[in-house]
Amino acid sequence: MELHYDIHDGTGPYMLMVHGFLSGRAQWQVNLAALARVVRPVVIELWGHGRSPAPEEPASYHPDTYIALFEHLRQHLGAERWAVCGQSLGAALTMRYALTQPTRVLAHVFTNSSAAFADAAWLQARRATAQQQADDVERDGHVALEALRVHPVHARRLPPEVRDALVADARLHTPRGIAQTLRYTTPNAPVREHVHAMQVPTLLVCGEREQRFQAYRVFAERTLPGLEVTGTPAGHAVNIEAADDFNTAVVDFVRRHA
């Protein structure tokens, strides 16, 4: 099986773009035209999300497996180095990739991601909740998916056309794949204990209206070597809610580092 991915036109190196939980390729639709000035976006969808299949094996969903898949994709594209960009859960995965394959990453961009910086207390609480949610999703399918508060049907601050596209992506999700993501990806996603070793130029575009992430922002600023931070008046979906700010920050960052 292979993750679904789309390669968009652009100028410069490839940029791998990884969405968050219950999102899909529409996550980036308001960013692609601007980013194409400096990169060639490669937009993937995680297992069970959108157009990607949903393997049965639990090991397929472990973050380390995603890292191997990203690296395989880079080699398939013939890129010696590329940029990477992650949103939410996707940011935890791209950060792990940048930590694991620093010589292959020109620049790393990420947005608000509690999953990346979670501590032991968060993990303990998350594992119990995730297991129950996974059981519900496996049993009740899309009804249970739409009950999750992060499902795009509940989004209120997104442009209508983006929200509609995300909802359309969500209709393609495979409940079994989402359940396995809850069981095996999210609880194993944090890289908090390793980020001090980051060797890759990294930019956080932070949505400052998401209060629960601000402590993680402080942790990131204190811990990630050379981290650059751009704050924006947005919530969790910062690249959509503050698309112009996000696009400007990323284009400038990539121009300087990639």
**pLDDT tens-digit map of 115-147:** 999 998 888 888 878 999 999 999 999 999 999
Would you list the domain boundaries of the chain? Answer: 5-257
Q: What predicted TM-score, i.e. pTM, was given to this entire model?
A: 0.97
Supply the pLDDT for residue 125.
81
Supply the pLDDT for residue 151.
97
By CB atoms closer than 10 A (0-12, 13-18, 19+), residue 214 is middle
CATH architecture of 5-257: 3-Layer(aba) Sandwich (3.40)
pLDDT of residue 1 exceeding 80, the answer is: no
Each residue of 82-108: pLDDT tens digit? 999 999 999 999 999 999 999 999 999
Supply the pLDDT for residue 256.
97
Task: Write the single-letter amino acid at 16.
Answer: L
Give the 3-state secondary structure of 10-63: CCCCEEEEECCCCCCHHHHCCCHHHHCCCCEEEEECCCCCCCCCCCCCHHHHCH
Mean pLDDT, the chain, whole residue set: 97
Q: Answer yes or no: are the C-beta atoms of 96 and 30 closer than 8 Å.
A: no
172-186: average pLDDT: 97
